[in-house]
């Protein structure tokens, strides 16, 4: 049944409690859409374009398979998963990114994503302790960028400048995003992402539709449906590659395998594919906080993801996470807003 709240008004996504008191509140929008574009749940504004940021990485990886590059280089499931990842820069992630580049005879010097310290705090400290400076392989987007480079090199296209909107690889990636979301991707809705590739603002409804289609493969060409299925299989087989230790996407897919695909993005965007239910979910936490989007998504997965999701202890723990202070004392909780799990 379709449920629509007043468009334009953000709804509560998650509350942060200290003791018994609500200390902070996250609000935003939610779209749950089927693979024909039918809106199953709309909370808040799902039409005003938002930047999807890293939530679309799996869509951006489709050309890696569709062009034949993945087969040309014999990419493994961990490599395909890393192409869809915002990873923590842990040693396993760095090794796989290096391996992907090595297949093209290249190294981190070809990456154009920039350098940052591992987002995984323990990995960052370990790197500092080893006296080694980070390189572009540690950038959380290095797998995606390595995938772009593989896509270029397999077709003998010079990968230099692959981050620019008019590079042949980026043009194909952008075309794929437009086809999957059904929304034009032009100069008018383009913004710069953290890793220097373009990101295109689109309605939350269109983002959810893209991931409903990514999940079921219905309404896609046979080749695209096969490519999407291969990526879903890869992330389910190697969920550690998608984020890493303690990451939301890794935790969810370690538990649920192919039953749920999720992907975080910067500034509080989070998507899911639920292949069995035939649904895509997209959340934008208005203030940009992932903690709010994550609690909300865990709740929505339990509501819409069927029996496996409803019974999942991991999803339950992500719906209501304990907060502990520096002495390990339980001081409060982050929990999804009650209204999200309301199936009226």
Q: Which residues make up the interface to its own copies (CB under 8 A)? A: 16, 18-19, 21, 23-27, 49-51, 112-117, 121, 124-126, 128-129, 131, 139, 190-196, 199, 201, 267-268, 286-289, 292, 325-329, 331-332
How far apart, in Å, are the Cα atoms of 76 and each of 27, 80, 81? 39, 6, 9
Residue 17 C-beta: closest distance to its own copies, Å: 9
Answer yes or no: are the C-beta atoms of 291 and 328 closer than 8 Å.
no
User: Which of 51/240 has CB closer to its own copies?
Assistant: 51
Answer yes or no: are the C-beta atoms of 83 and 57 closer than 8 Å.
yes
Within 13 Å, how many C-alpha atoms sit on residue 263's CB side? Answer: 33
- Angle between helix 142-154 and 91-103 (nearest 10): 10
User: Which of 175/325 has CB closer to its own copies?
Assistant: 325
Rounded Cα distance, 146 and 151, in Å: 9
How far apart, in Å, are the Cα atoms of 5 and each of 22, 67, 109, 128? 23, 42, 49, 49
User: Which of 2/327 has CB closer to its own copies?
Assistant: 327
Residue 65 C-beta: closest distance to its own copies, Å: 27
Residue 132 C-beta: closest distance to its own copies, Å: 10
CB atoms within 10 A of CB 197: 22
Alpha carbon 246 to its chain centroid, in Å, reads 15
User: Which of 260/285 has CB closer to its own copies?
Assistant: 285
The torsion angle over the Cα atoms of residues 12, 16, 22 and 25, rounded to 10 degrees, is: -30
Rounded Cα distance, 109 and 147, in Å: 14
Residue 129 C-beta: closest distance to its own copies, Å: 5
Residue 144 C-beta: closest distance to its own copies, Å: 13
Residue 145 C-beta: closest distance to its own copies, Å: 11
Residue 25 C-beta: closest distance to its own copies, Å: 5
Alpha helices, H only, 245-343: 248-256, 290-304, 306-310, 313-319
User: Which of 190/320 has CB closer to its own copies?
Assistant: 190
User: Which of 237/331 has CB closer to its own copies?
Assistant: 331
User: Which of 122/338 has CB closer to its own copies?
Assistant: 122
């Amino acid at each position: 049944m379709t449920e629509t709240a007043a468009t334009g008004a953000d709804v509560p996504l998650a509350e942060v409690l200290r003791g018994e008191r609500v200390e902070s509140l996250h609000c935003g929008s939610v779209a749950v859409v089927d693979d024909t574009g039918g809106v199953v749940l709309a909370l808040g504004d799902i039409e005003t374009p938002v930047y999807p940021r890293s939530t679309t990485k799996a869509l951006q990886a489709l050309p890696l398979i569709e062009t034949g590059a993945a087969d040309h280089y014999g990419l493994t499931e961990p490599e395909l998963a890393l192409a869809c990842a915002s990873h923590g820069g842990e040693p396993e992630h760095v090794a796989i990114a290096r391996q992907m580049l090595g297949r093209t005879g290249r190294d981190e010097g070809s990456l154009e994503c920039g350098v940052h310290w591992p987002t995984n705090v323990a990995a960052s400290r370990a790197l500092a302790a080893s006296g080694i400076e980070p390189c572009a392989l540690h950038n959380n987007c290095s797998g995606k960028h390595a995938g772009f480079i593989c896509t270029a090199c397999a077709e003998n296209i010079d990968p230099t400048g692959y981050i620019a909107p008019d590079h042949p690889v980026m043009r194909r990636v952008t075309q794929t995003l437009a086809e999957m979301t059904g929304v034009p991707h032009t100069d008018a809705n383009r913004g710069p992402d953290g890793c220097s590739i373009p990101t295109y603002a689109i309605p939350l409804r269109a983002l959810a539709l893209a991931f409903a289609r990514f999940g079921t493969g219905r309404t896609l060409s046979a080749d695209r449906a096969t490519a999407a299925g291969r990526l879903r299989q890869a992330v389910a087989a190697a969920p550690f590659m998608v984020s890493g230790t303690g990451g939301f996407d890794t935790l969810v897919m370690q538990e649920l395998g192919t039953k749920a695909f999720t992907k975080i993005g910067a500034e509080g965007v989070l998507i899911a594919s639920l292949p069995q239910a035939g649904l895509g979910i997209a959340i934008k936490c208005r203030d940009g906080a992932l903690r709010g989007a994550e609690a909300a998504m865990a709740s929505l997965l339990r509501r819409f993801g069927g029996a496996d999701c409803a019974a999942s202890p991991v999803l339950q723990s992500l719906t209501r996470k304990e907060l502990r202070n520096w002495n390990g004392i339980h001081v409060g909780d982050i929990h999804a807003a009650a209204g999200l799990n309301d199936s009226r």
